DNA sequence: CTTGAATGATACGGTTCCGAAACAAGCGTT
DNA sequence: AACGCTTGTTTCGGAACCGTATCATTCAAG
């Protein structure tokens, strides 16, 4: 099980994908924002501010601010939980799904180009 | 030639590595900074501000500022080119090499854990 | 009801970053 | 020496981010 990579392949893949993202002037997300975005799109809901903070090992304001920024870019959206109005549920958006899908395509393409 | 990944594997890999980086409170590098750092460590020298700007498709001040930040974290160093003193040569550091090496290990480990 | 715990958001002071423009320094040719 | 050209840095106003601390709202239990 799993995918085998050499050190050279692993780092080259990381470089190529980051270069591609910078070049396509996609939103310049920080590592934290990327981790949040992918967690929302890959892990099963519901996603709360507190839950995301715990999963990333950061404080709540970090999550709130990241959601502010990514929300203004339409990558995620926030909704009050009507069952417990203290909670905020973080949900996917069309633009966010497109961003993630495109990122996946880039990773696959760059992995396919790796030398043996 | 190349490494085959499914969309699910590609995105899960990206999430897991980013989560690991955030969790280890390694320096929170932006995509641009990561692209610069890996280019310095993977591509053959010499590396100049102008060359890096061209490779990333950004302006020179972006490179200067990124080198300021990463330099203060000892991840890269700058030296005047004595042959042509207009040039600044960007070089590797011990700390930078350790950072890159550790990143490679994380990528390899997370790739190995991917479900089929 | 009132109190205490839980959840997110906000305020604060400080750092970094952005793009565009201006700047300083070095080179090479005349 | 003086001129353009190249290279890298700095400046500007404006925006985003950090960690810590505080605030506002909501729930739930006494």
Cβ-proximal residues to B116 (8 Å cutoff; 6+ apart), any chain: A1, A2
d(CA A106, CA A99): 11
d(CA B23, CA A40): 17
pLDDT digits (tens, 9 = 90+) for A6-51: 999 999 999 999 999 998 867 778 889 999 999 999 999 999 999 9
Q: How confident is the model at residue A1 (pLDDT cuts 50, 70, 90)?
A: confident
Q: Measure in Å the smallest separation between the Cα of A42 and chain B Cα atoms.
A: 7
Asked whether residue A86's C-beta has any atom of DNA/RNA strand C within 7 A, the reply is yes
Cβ of residue B44 closer than 8 Å to a chain A Cβ: no
Asked whether residue A27's C-beta has any atom of DNA/RNA strand D within 7 A, the reply is no
Q: What is the pLDDT of residue B24?
A: 84
Q: Would you say residue A61 has pLDDT above 80?
A: yes
Residues 2-21 of B with CB under 8 A from A: 2-7, 9-15, 17-19, 21
pLDDT tens sequence for chain B (116 residues): 889 999 999 999 999 999 999 988 777 788 899 999 999 999 999 999 999 999 999 999 999 999 999 999 999 999 999 999 999 999 999 999 999 999 999 999 999 999 98
Q: What is the pLDDT of residue A10?
A: 96
d(CA A35, CA B110): 14
Please tell me what DSSP assigns to residue A47: -
d(CA A86, CA A89): 10
Q: Measure in Å the smallest separation between the Cα of A63 and chain B Cα atoms.
A: 13
Q: What is the pLDDT of residue B52?
A: 95
Q: Measure in Å the smallest separation between the Cα of B46 and chain A Cα atoms.
A: 18
Q: How confident is the model at residue A65 (pLDDT cuts 50, 70, 90)?
A: very high
Neighbours of A27 (CB within 10 A): 14
By C-alpha distance, which of B1, B18, B70 is closest to A103? B18
A57 backbone φψ class: left, alpha, beta (φ>0; ψ -120 to 50): left
CA of A76, C1' of D30: distance in angstroms: 40
Q: Hunting for tokens 């550790």 — which residue is that?
A: B102
Distances in whole angstroms, Cα of residue B49 to Cα of each of B1, B7, B31, B76, B86: 33, 35, 17, 12, 11
- The full length of chain A comes to 116
Q: What is the pLDDT of residue A27?
A: 77
Asked whether residue B68's C-beta has any atom of DNA/RNA strand C within 7 A, the reply is yes
Distances in whole angstroms, Cα of residue A30 to Cα of each of A47, B56, B112: 20, 17, 24
Asked whether residue A48's C-beta has any atom of DNA/RNA strand D within 7 A, the reply is no
Cβ of residue B114 closer than 8 Å to a chain A Cβ: yes
Q: What is the pLDDT of residue B30?
A: 87
pLDDT digits (tens, 9 = 90+) for A97-107: 999 999 999 99
């Amino acid at each position: 099980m799993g995918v085998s990579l050499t050190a050279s392949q692993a780092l080259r893949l990381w470089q190529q994908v980051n270069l591609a993202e910078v070049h396509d002037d996609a939103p310049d997300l920080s590592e934290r924002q990327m981790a949040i975005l992918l967690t929302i799109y890959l892990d099963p809901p519901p996603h709360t501010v507190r839950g995301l903070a715990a999963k990333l090992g950061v404080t709540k304001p970090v999550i709130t601010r990241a959601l502010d920024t990514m929300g203004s870019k339409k990558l995620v959206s926030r909704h009050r939980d009507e069952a417990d109005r203290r909670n905020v549920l973080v949900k996917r958006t069309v633009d966010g799904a497109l961003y993630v899908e495109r990122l996946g395509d880039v990773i696959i393409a760059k992995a396919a180009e790796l030398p043996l």
